[in-house]
Amino acid sequence: MSIKPTILVTNDDGINAPGIRALISVMAEIGEVIVVAPDSPQSAMGHAITINSTIYLNKISGENTAITEYSCSGTPVDCVKLAVNEILKKKPDLCVSGVNHGSNSSINVIYSGTMSAAVEAGIEGIPAIGFSLLDYDWNADFEQIKPYIKKIALEVLAKKLTEGTVLNVNFPKLKTNEIKGIKICRQAKAIWMEKFDKRQTPYGKDYYWLTGEFVNQDKGEDTDEWALAHGYISIVPVQFDLTAHHAIAQLNTWNL
Amino acid sequence: MSIKPTILVTNDDGINAPGIRALISVMAEIGEVIVVAPDSPQSAMGHAITINSTIYLNKISGENTAITEYSCSGTPVDCVKLAVNEILKKKPDLCVSGVNHGSNSSINVIYSGTMSAAVEAGIEGIPAIGFSLLDYDWNADFEQIKPYIKKIALEVLAKKLTEGTVLNVNFPKLKTNEIKGIKICRQAKAIWMEKFDKRQTPYGKDYYWLTGEFVNQDKGEDTDEWALAHGYISIVPVQFDLTAHHAIAQLNTWNL
């Protein structure tokens, strides 16, 4: 009899989001699941951590009472830190984050709370995957991608991820049988063109809403944007050594 | 007569921090300075952006009235986006962030609001540098490092940074004449060993403070940690293409 793997599940849309509920249901088929997720939406929190404020952790009963769930007042990264250090007191065999309601492909990876939670797990030496579906709707259909989530998670458990890497998995908004397959990709060179929506409070004070348009400037066919646009699931291996090793030689020629 | 470069200055410790005041004074010797910085401390905010809340921007008078300053209710990354899109309406020639009160070397780069502001500028195609001093004291002595800040900023303006990179500059807590020089480095493989300080509210509810111990597991002599420990200023070129390109071949052998 094999021992079931311990799987930590988190996200950034909050513990009640349909995306994390779908992820929990798949992980419950694979291992012993523990959920530690934000008590409120934490989208676009990047790799923020809570150092100037207190953090609350509440044990709650899940839909499935066999699964232990905690909601946390902190960021997605705080959730991973608390899970590993205060709740589990040992490293889980896998950490999965998501399923995010919306894309975390290309440059979105850097703003994403979902991916930052996975990256934090990676920093702590835990195999980790962030999952995102290209559908921002709260009632997005996560059933279609469940078979793929299971396949990818099992493969990560069976094989080892390259040291210092985690996976960024994005799903196109398609039916299971419309998905063409999985492509291993690089992050596309894309940016957000910001448009600030300037308004006035009822008291005459200006304020802004951040909005923007996503622009993919990358024509490569090996990118996550290309794969998603052509009906594939994209997997980008993501690293947290941010050193631009290729730029070191040039800087060494500078007059510093 | 040459035209002065436009320099955007931001930080994460807030617009009144002595670190940004020191940085502004150096940049005023080099170019036309515009300051857009958080109205309150935003340390450890990582690459967070404000999408579920309003953002306020207040034009304030600086110490030096020749310099335009804005305080912003958002994160460091919001400050850069607002500066470029709403205030300047064109890209500045340089963006500098800091001087941070405390280290942003090795893995700290990923949690740092200071560095995330510089990275955001880099994403927008602006040459960018984050500066940090290894002294968490509010009254840290920034005078000692001013000559080096000027030298590095001038070199970045004179030469081009490799596309898709920004600089992470950390200063040891030393007198000007004790600093041995500048080293171009890679990010050390170091982590934070978390220790949560668990307490109770006056009403009997548990809460946590995130604390931790920094542990450098990297014995390399080409790292930022090594340079700083040996009296050098460290410069790490940082990239925002997070793709672990070296891991793609292995993933392509998986059964996906």
Q: Which domains does chain A have, with CATH numbers?
A: 6-188+220-251 (3.40.1210.10)
| pLDDT digit string, tens, across residues B68-84 | 999 999 999 999 999 99
| Interchain pair A237, B247: CB under 8 A | yes
| Interchain pair A240, B237: CB under 8 A | no
Nearest to A207 among B56, B198, B239 (CB): B56
Nearest to B46 among A84, A116, A241 (CB): A116
Whether the per-residue pLDDT at A23 is higher than 70: the answer is: yes
Residue A109: closest C-alpha in chain B: B242
Least confident of A40-54, A138-152, B9-23, B163-177: A40-54
Query: Is the Cβ–Cβ distance between A93 and A7 less than 8 Å?
Result: yes
Over residues B215-230, the mean pLDDT reads 96
| Interchain pair B256, A205: CB under 8 A | no
C-alpha B172/C-alpha B181 separation (Å) is 10
Q: Helices A146-158 & A18-27, crossing angle to 10 degrees?
A: 50
| pLDDT digit string, tens, across residues A155-188 | 999 998 999 999 999 999 999 999 999 999 999 9
Higher-pLDDT residue of B25 and A90 is B25
Interface ipTM: 0.93
C-alpha A14/C-alpha A36 separation (Å) is 10
Q: Helices B18-27 & B146-158, crossing angle to 10 degrees?
A: 50
| pLDDT digit string, tens, across residues B79-120 | 999 999 999 978 999 999 999 999 999 999 999 999 999 999
- Count interface pairs A-B at CB distance under 8 A: 220
Q: Quick one: which H or E segment has residue B14?
A: none
Which pLDDT score, from 0 to 100, does residue A125 have? 96
Instruction: Read off the pLDDT band of A1 (50, 70, 90).
Output: very low
Over residues A119-131, the mean pLDDT reads 97
Query: Is the Cβ–Cβ distance between A75 and A3 less than 8 Å?
Result: no
Binding positions of A: 12-13, 43, 100
β-sheet bridge partners, residue A199: A207
| Interchain pair A251, B235: CB under 8 A | yes
CA–CA min distance A244, chain B (Å)? 5
Instruction: Read off the pLDDT band of A2 (50, 70, 90).
Output: low
Nearest by Cα to B42 from B80, B68, B93:
B80
Which pLDDT score, from 0 to 100, does residue B1 have? 45
Instruction: Read off the pLDDT band of A64 (50, 70, 90).
Output: low
Nearest to B82 among A49, A181, A196 (CB): A196
Whether the per-residue pLDDT at B135 is higher than 90: the answer is: yes
Whether the per-residue pLDDT at B2 is higher than 70: the answer is: no
Residue B43 among known ligand-binding residues = yes
Nearest by Cα to B13 from B72, B84, B99:
B99
Q: What is the DSSP string of chain A?
A: -PPPPEEEEE-SS-TT-HHHHHHHHHHTTTSEEEEEEESS--TT-TT---SSS-B-EEEEE-SSTTSEEEEESS-HHHHHHHIIIIISSS--SEEEEEEEES---GGGGGT-HHHHHHHHHHHTT--EEEEEES---TT---GGGHHHHHHHHHHHHHSPPPTTEEEEEEE-S--GGG--EEEE-BPP-EEEEEEEEEEE-TTS-EEEEEEEEEEE----TTBHHHHHHTTEEEEEEEES--B-GGGHHHHTTS--
Over residues A243-247, the mean pLDDT reads 97
**Percent of chain B at pLDDT exceeding 90:** 87
Whether the per-residue pLDDT at A62 is higher than 70: the answer is: no
Over residues A106-130, the mean pLDDT reads 96
Whether the per-residue pLDDT at B194 is higher than 90: the answer is: no
Residue B75: closest C-alpha in chain A: A45
CA–CA min distance B66, chain A (Å)? 24
Chain B partners of A243 at a C-beta cutoff of 8 Å?
186-187, 236-239
| pLDDT digit string, tens, across residues A4-15 | 999 999 999 999
| Interchain pair A110, B124: CB under 8 A | no
Helix residue spans in chain B (DSSP H): 18-27, 76-82, 113-123, 146-158, 224-229, 248-251
Chain B partners of A155 at a C-beta cutoff of 8 Å?
254-256
Mean pLDDT of chain A: 94
